[in-house]
Amino acid sequence: MRQKNWRIVVVGLVLIVMALAFYFFMLSMAPKSNDPAALMQTVGTVAGVVCGLSVAMIVFGLIGKRV
């Protein structure tokens, strides 16, 4: 029997929400930048890495540990 780790799942979900909020916030700031394309490429990379890590956290949290 495995016990799910709900703390890790919740933190993963919060990180996804924060990454999406960061992306959309920076999307509104991009027109004011000198190079909006490079800015959004960097922001997209960062948001993608955070989302990837949070999906991994959610998966590991749902798999859980042995009791």
Tens of pLDDT, residues 2-51: 899 999 999 999 999 999 999 999 999 999 999 999 999 999 999 999 99
| pLDDT range class, residue 67, cuts 50, 70, 90 | confident
Task: Enumerate the H helices of 1-67 as residue ranges.
Answer: 6-29, 36-63
d(CA 50, CA 20) in angstroms, rounded, equals: 10
Predicted TM-score (pTM) of the model is 0.87
| Domain extents in the chain | 2-66
The two beta strands, 2-3 and 65-66, are antiparallel
Q: Which has more pLDDT, 61 or 1?
A: 61
